[in-house]
Amino acid sequence: MRAAPTQEDIRRQNLGALLRRVHVHGPVTRAQLTAGMGLNRSTIGALTADLTEAGLILEEQPRDPAAGRGRPSLVVKVRSQRVYVLAFGVGVDRLVAARVGLGGVILDRREIERPGGQFSIDETVDRLAEFAARLGEAAAPEARCVGAAAAVPAVVARDGGELRYGPNIGWNAEPFGARLSAAAGRHVVIGNDGDLGALGEHTRGAAAGYDDVVYIHGDVGIGGGIIAGGRRLTGADGFAAEIGHMMVNPNGRECPCGSYGCWETEIGERALLRAARRGGPLGRESVHAAVDAAARGDKDAEEGLRTVGDWLGVGVANLVNLLNPRIVVFGGTLRMVYPATAAQVRSRINSTALATHREHLRLRTALLADDAPLHGAAELAFAGLFDNPIETSSA
Amino acid sequence: MRAAPTQEDIRRQNLGALLRRVHVHGPVTRAQLTAGMGLNRSTIGALTADLTEAGLILEEQPRDPAAGRGRPSLVVKVRSQRVYVLAFGVGVDRLVAARVGLGGVILDRREIERPGGQFSIDETVDRLAEFAARLGEAAAPEARCVGAAAAVPAVVARDGGELRYGPNIGWNAEPFGARLSAAAGRHVVIGNDGDLGALGEHTRGAAAGYDDVVYIHGDVGIGGGIIAGGRRLTGADGFAAEIGHMMVNPNGRECPCGSYGCWETEIGERALLRAARRGGPLGRESVHAAVDAAARGDKDAEEGLRTVGDWLGVGVANLVNLLNPRIVVFGGTLRMVYPATAAQVRSRINSTALATHREHLRLRTALLADDAPLHGAAELAFAGLFDNPIETSSA
């Protein structure tokens, strides 16, 4: 019921929608764009001409045109090197930065791990800014950075600037977005790693094509993201999907959040290594070693994984009853834990989730592996480009 | 990116939007409609003329026109008697049917209670059809029924016809919508009582004006409905918000759903009466008596309410961490239980919900009392009218 959009608004929206479609789905023919976008052929032709001139796409003859069926439809592809974003991933013991090209391809990356350790906020800002500088230097002279975003294991304010609460990294109420932006010399939006993992897997991972998704991210803590009806479930303040702090065990241990019996205290890295009676630092290597030991028949590791798998199933069943997702995706270290505990998880879901809710449910590991939040950060960073492709890429 | 809507489509949408606005918000001036809908004065005038001619609204001079400030803007109101819907509420031990006029006013109602008992599906269909007939007979000859819907304490298929699973009423995989439609002589859509309670409270109750809402409905079982970003959270199959079957107590009792330790087994009517060591049938009267006994200092009842309040708080804290609602509304028998246990609930939320998530959280009892699901059913039944006001009201 608002005032009608201008011709220029409509053109900008159509340019963004077309570019985003090719960015997400890969090469498509003009005929597919015409059918999929509900626009006529001449409009599609005008849009692809504009995007080609801006250097964002290219059009090619199809490799195997159907013989004798008239003029073949041109294939539209992104030019992945022409514009890029910077995506950052902050883990408890791992920092990663990547240059991600149009089409979602990781063109270059830098990372540092410190198993069992942590990074202070000062060090994180410095390292990521240094990575960003190196990634920029390595880009082709004509390549243009059109956005930047960071995934953090913390509650983040809706405006994507303030990190409100991150018990596992020990940062609270930090203007991390502003600090990283200042150090990197360009605006960096921040987002919760679970939310961005969900966005990554929903855009180009295991959850592509599904409208109702729960993504569960395992690190030292347990994060998550929820897609409901095709859209991110944000909650009133942008804080939704703190699934690691769902209480599942009223007799459980204290959680870094101050409560106890949180899901995170039963299925996070600390819980797994404790249940499997294993020493060593926290981190992916230790989780991998525990899963590996169980596979080789180590009784303590087997028993530990059974316990963790049981609690993993309890929490998934709760999320299934509450949210009725079509797919649950396990990311981060849960990519190793879920396959090793699938029997327990399935058994718990069968006993605890309602039959109606589990009938069409799929459980999958993240296709983007540990990079699901990084890919989500890239999508967040690309958003401005799709709002206004020509100006954003030439400004 | 679809083909542009026709003039006729736009007119129909505007008629529906205007009528719905007055239906939900009550009398408004033409000037307020002009500002609120982003349409010009002559368009608003044409729309109100059409709706007036169809008998759906009337326009009046304002009672206290601001003196000397030009021609006063006409006040637009619904004509609540001209069109109505039939709304049905199925509880475990209570059946209700109402004729609800435009504007959401309950014009007439019929109900029957059977404390501690149940209604079979045959009896439910017969009784509600009989109520519907009587409600129709009592309506004015020129009044027109434009829809019908029923709230049921069960998992309902997305198309609003099949009742998939209702452990507390003992019905499973029943074509209840089709049976009630046949008996009532008109199409009746069915919906989950928690979802419809949320819709009722969100439209014209305690949650009006909030975009992120959790509604919790207490009956023998515990139902719920979630509004996220202003829209109902449906899940992949329409089954979302089965909050009563979130496991909160791994050492808890068996639940009618087949699992155990479900929230329902800790805060439902059976749990309350057991914890308060009270006999008597299930039902609102017994809940009221237990709450009343605690208020009068009965130690068993006090202790029982403390226990239930503690579990109520655990579950609410989980929902707050997962969904980040701005408001949680307690309906059904929880309207009595929550005020009697607010100290326990608040204490649990303070210890278990994240500080970021509880900062702006409101907890309220349902304004529509036990009728929240009934009002939600009425809104569901009115939906067709707002899609096409003139034809639906004259067909």
A224-263 residues touching B, CB cutoff 8 A: 226, 228-229, 231, 233-243, 245-251, 257-259
Residues within 8 A of A (CB atoms), B 188-227 only: 210-212, 226
Query: Angle between the B176-184 and B121-138 helix axes, to the nearest 10 degrees?
Result: 40
pLDDT in tens, A366-389: 999 899 999 999 999 999 999 999
pLDDT in tens, B168-215: 999 999 999 999 999 999 999 999 999 999 999 999 999 999 999 999
Q: Could you report the per-residue pLDDT of A109-141, keeping only the tens digit for each?
A: 999 999 888 999 999 999 999 999 999 999 999
Interface test with B, best of A265, A351, A352, A360 (most B CBs within 10 A): A352
> What mean pLDDT comes out for the span B87-114?
96
What CA–CA distance (Å, rounded) separates B34 from B42? Answer: 9
What does the pLDDT look like over A15-29, one tens digit per residue? Answer: 999 999 999 999 999
Whole-Å CA distances, B171 to A280, B44, B121, B132, B284: 54, 48, 7, 22, 22
Q: Please tell me which residue of chain B has the smallest CA distance to A212.
A: B236
Closest B-chain CA to A233: B228
Residues of B in Cβ contact (< 8 Å) with A321: 242-243, 245-246
Q: Are A14 and A7 in contact (CB under 8 A)?
A: no
- CATH architecture assignment, domain B207-366: 2-Layer Sandwich (3.30)
Task: Verify whether the Cβ–Cβ distance B242 to A321 is below 8 Å.
Answer: yes
Q: Confidence band (pLDDT; 50, 70, 90) for B71?
A: confident
Q: What pLDDT sits at residue A359?
A: 95
Residue of chain A with shortest Cα separation from B154:
A356
DSSP designation for A69: S
- B266 in contact with chain A, both atoms CB, cutoff 8 A: no
Residues of B in contact with A360 (CB under 8 A): 236-237
**Cβ distance of A237 and B38 shorter than 8 Å:** no
Whether residues A242 and B357 touch (CB distance < 8 A) is answered with yes
Complex-level ipTM? 0.94
CA distance B239 to chain A (A): 6
Distance from CA of B245 to the nearest CA of A (A): 7
The answer to whether residue A81 neighbours chain B at the CB level (below 8 Å) is no
Q: Which pLDDT score, from 0 to 100, does residue B68 have? A: 55
Q: In what order do the strands lie in the sheet with A171-174?
A: A155-156, A163-166, A171-174
- Mutation to test the B interface, candidates A155, A247, A348, most B Cβ within 10 Å: A247
Nearest CA in chain B to A321: B242
pLDDT band at residue A65 under the 50/70/90 scheme:
low
pLDDT of residue B72: 79
Side chain identity, residue B83: V
The chain B residue lying nearest A17, using CA atoms, is B1
Percent of chain A surpassing pLDDT 70: 97
> What kind of fold does domain A7-78 have according to CATH?
Arc Repressor Mutant, subunit A (1.10.10)
- How much is the mean pLDDT over chain A? 94
Question: For residue A229, which residues of chain B lie inside 8 Å, CB to CB?
Answer: 231, 233-234
| Chain B residues inside the 8 Å CB shell of A2 | 38
Tell me which chain A residues have a C-beta less than 8 angstroms from the C-beta of B237: 324, 356-357, 359-360
Do B240 and A233 count as a contact with CB atoms less than 8 A apart?
A: no
Q: What is the DSSP string of B44-107?
A: HHHHHHHHHHTTSEEEE--SSPPTTSSSPPPEEEE-TTTEEEEEEEE-SSEEEEEEEETTTEEE
pLDDT classification of B69: cutoffs 50, 70, 90: low
What is the band of B1 on the pLDDT scale with cuts at 50, 70, 90?
Answer: very low
Instruction: State the pLDDT at residue B189.
Output: 97
Determine, for residues A164 and B356 on separate chains, whether the beta-carbon distance falls below 8 Å: yes
In this complex, do B235 and A325 lie within 8 Å of one another by their Cβ atoms?
yes
The residue ranking higher by pLDDT, B141 or A66, is: B141
Q: What pLDDT, in 10s, does the model give residues A279-328?
A: 888 888 999 999 999 999 999 999 999 999 999 999 999 999 999 999 99
Q: A69, exposed or middle or buried, with CB in 10 Å at 0-12, 13-18, 19+? A: exposed
CB within 8 Å: A249 and B250? yes
Q: What is the pLDDT of residue A146?
A: 97
Distance CA B233, CA A324 (A): 9
Q: Is A326 in Cβ contact with B354 (below 8 Å)? A: no
Interface check B355 vs A, CB under 8 A: yes
Closest chain B residue to A241, measured at CA: B322
A10 φψ region: left (φ > 0), alpha (ψ -120 to 50), beta (else): alpha
Percentage of chain B with pLDDT > 70?
Answer: 97
Q: Domain coordinates of chain B in residue numbers?
A: 7-78, 83-196+373-394, 207-366
Asked if residue A68 has pLDDT above 70, the reply is: no
Nearest Cα to B191, choosing from B377, B382, B53, B342?
A: B377
> What is the least distance, in Å, from the CA of A324 to any CA of chain B?
5
- Cβ–Cβ of B38/A318 closer than 8 Å? no
pLDDT at residue A5 in the model: 77
Report pLDDT for B65.
Answer: 57
Chain B residues closer than 8 Å to A241 by CB: 322
pLDDT digits (tens, 9 = 90+) for A212-255: 999 999 999 999 999 999 999 999 999 999 999 999 999 999 99
Cβ distance B57 to B45 under 8 Å? no
Residue B4 has pLDDT above 80, yes or no: no
Which of the two residues, B77 and A161, has the higher pLDDT score? Answer: B77
Q: What pLDDT, on the 0 to 100 scale, is given for residue A327?
A: 98
The pLDDT value given to residue A116:
84
Residue B248 to residue A250, Cβ atoms within 8 A = yes
Q: Do A318 and B246 touch (CB under 8 A)?
A: yes
Q: What is the pLDDT of residue B130?
A: 98
pLDDT at A66: 58
CA-to-CA distance for B165 and B146, rounded, in angstroms? 28
Tell me the pLDDT tens digit for each residue of B135-166: 999 999 999 999 999 999 999 988 888 999 99
Residue B77, beta-bridge partner list:
B58
B144-152 vs B83-90, strand pairing mode: parallel
* Residue B64: pLDDT over 90: no
* Residues B284-305: tens digit of each pLDDT: 899 999 999 999 999 999 999 9
Rounded-to-integer distance, Cα A306 and Cα A294, Å: 10
Distance from CA of B165 to the nearest CA of A (A): 8
Q: Which CATH superfamily is domain B83-196+373-394 in?
A: ATPase, nucleotide binding domain (3.30.420.40)
Give the pLDDT score at A48: 97
> Residue B11: helix, strand or coil by DSSP?
helix
Q: Please list every residue in chain B whose beta carbon sits closer than 8 Å to the beta carbon of residue A325.
A: 235-236
Q: Tell me the torsion sign for CA atoms A130, A133, A137, A140.
A: positive
CB contact under 8 A, B357 and A237: yes
Name chain B contacts of A356, Cβ cutoff 8 Å. Answer: 155, 164-165, 237, 239
Tokens of residue A241, six digits = 């999907």
Residue B3 has pLDDT above 60, yes or no: no
Q: How confident is the model at residue B116 (pLDDT cuts 50, 70, 90)?
A: confident
Give the Cα separation of A262 and A223 in Å (integer).
Answer: 12
Determine, for residues A243 and B38 on separate chains, whether the beta-carbon distance falls below 8 Å. Answer: no
pLDDT score, position B280:
82
Asked if B324 and A238 come within 8 Å (Cβ–Cβ), the reply is yes
Give strand ranges (E) for A233-325.
none
Query: In angstroms, what separates the C-alpha of A135 from chain B's closest C-alpha?
Result: 35
Once rounded to an integer, what is the mean pLDDT over residues A29-58?
Answer: 94
A7-78 against A83-196+373-394: fold identical? no
pLDDT value at position B159? 85
A134/chain B closest Cα distance in angstroms: 36
